[in-house]
């Protein structure tokens, strides 16, 4: 299991764009299960949509991709210092809206993994109901140094 402090060591995302709270299962280079607790205080709910808050589908896909990135990067010490970038999204479907108070459980599995690219299949569930699914293609590269930190 990876808590948020360990997640912050693996991927470079930070507030307000870190969309994964915990990894509860991880089988190296095979599959992972991650959790996002959807709070009414999320900034995107201010405009999406007033009086009818719904988590944007693109952010559900982003959270799914972050779980996939954690899976791929945490599975190999050789990938430390790398970053994962979106390269494509296929077969994306949104089944049910995600609203404040929901807990999204992401289940991702590796379909193909190469040295500099990977393809994952992800599903997002709220209370065992499928709310979204997609296949995500990513590329991996060296993580750039943070400006002003020397890291």
Q: Which two tokens stand for residue 90?
A: 């296929």
Q: How far apart are CA 82 and CA 43, in angstroms?
A: 28
Residue 150 lies in a domain: no
Residue 82 lies in a domain: yes
Distance (Å) of CA 75 to CA 27, 61, 78: 8, 21, 9
Q: How far apart are CA 19 and CA 67, in angstroms?
A: 9
Residue 148 lies in a domain: no
State residue 71's pLDDT score: 97
Residue 147 lies in a domain: no
Q: pLDDT (tens digit, 9 = 90+) per residue, 71-90?
A: 999 998 888 889 999 999 99
State residue 140's pLDDT score: 94
State residue 79's pLDDT score: 84
The closest alpha carbon to 119, from 9, 26, 24, 29, belongs to 29
Residues found in the chain: 151
State residue 146's pLDDT score: 64
Residue 149 lies in a domain: no
Number of structural domains the chain divides into: 1
Q: pLDDT (tens digit, 9 = 90+) per residue, 52-69?
A: 999 999 999 999 999 999
Residue 151 lies in a domain: no
Active site residues per annotation: 48
State residue 147's pLDDT score: 58
Domain that holds residue 128: 4-142
Regions in the chain scoring below 70 on pLDDT: 146-151
Q: Domain holding 118: CATH number?
A: 3.10.129.10
Residue ranges of E strands in 1-151: 22-27, 31-37, 82-94, 103-113, 117-126, 129-142
Residue 74 lies in a domain: yes
Residue 63 lies in a domain: yes
């Amino acid at each position: 299991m990876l808590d948020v402090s360990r997640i912050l060591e693996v991927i470079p995302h930070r507030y307000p764009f870190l969309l994964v709270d915990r990894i509860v299962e991880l089988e190296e280079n095979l599959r992972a299960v991650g959790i996002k607790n959807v709070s009414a205080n999320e900034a995107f709910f201010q405009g999406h949509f007033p009086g009818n808050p719904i988590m944007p589908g693109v952010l559900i896909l982003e959270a799914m991709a972050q779980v996939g990135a954690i899976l791929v990067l945490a599975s190999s010490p050789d990938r430390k210092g790398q970053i994962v970038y979106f390269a494509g999204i296929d077969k994306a479907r949104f089944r049910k809206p995600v609203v404040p108070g929901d807990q999204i459980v992401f289940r991702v599995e590796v379909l193909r993994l190469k040295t500099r690219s990977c393809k994952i299949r992800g599903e997002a569930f709220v209370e065992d109901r499928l709310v979204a699914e997609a296949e995500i293609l990513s590329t991996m590269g060296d993580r750039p140094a943070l400006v002003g930190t020397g890291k």
